[in-house]
Amino acid sequence: MADEKKKILIVEDDKGFLWSLRQIFDNQGLEVFYAEDGEQGLEKADKEKPDLILIDIQLPKMDGIEMAKKIKENGLSPKIIFLTNMKDPLHISQALEAVGESDYIVKVDVHIDAVVQRVKDKLGIK
């Protein structure tokens, strides 16, 4: 493959969901990194410079919104997709406004294949 692999960071504290996402994205030929809390996610983002980050909003140690803000403050500009189980429009809009151009997925409303497709669309992968 001539193109450099796209890097994706998954920050998710639900181990089962994280494992499923890792397996699927590995099979898509993406370079996958992961973290289970916001502090670890921020460290991985700074080190690996991913093209896209999937961030659960409700994380231990540092929530996903705060993590995304710090990533931007650190001068990184990955595409960001927030993952949440909350359907509250105010909460979702706060997440989107926190970091500018981003997207969100309500996990309980979507099949994992739709998450994969959204990531591929954001990365320009067919």
Instruction: With respect to residue 50, please indicate whether it lies within any of the assigned structural domains.
Output: yes
Say if 1 falls within a structural domain.
Answer: no
Tell me, yes or no, whether 2 lies in a domain.
Answer: no
Domain count for the chain, please give it. Answer: 1
Threshold 0.75, pTM exceeds: yes
In a domain, 88, yes or no: yes
pLDDT value, residue 2 = 43
Task: Give the range among 17-26, 32-41, 57-66, 99-108 with minimum mean pLDDT.
Answer: 99-108
Token pair for 92? 């979702």
Q: Each residue of 53-101: pLDDT tens digit? A: 999 988 999 988 899 989 989 998 899 988 877 666 666 666 667 666 6
Q: Which residues constitute the domain of residue 119?
A: 8-123
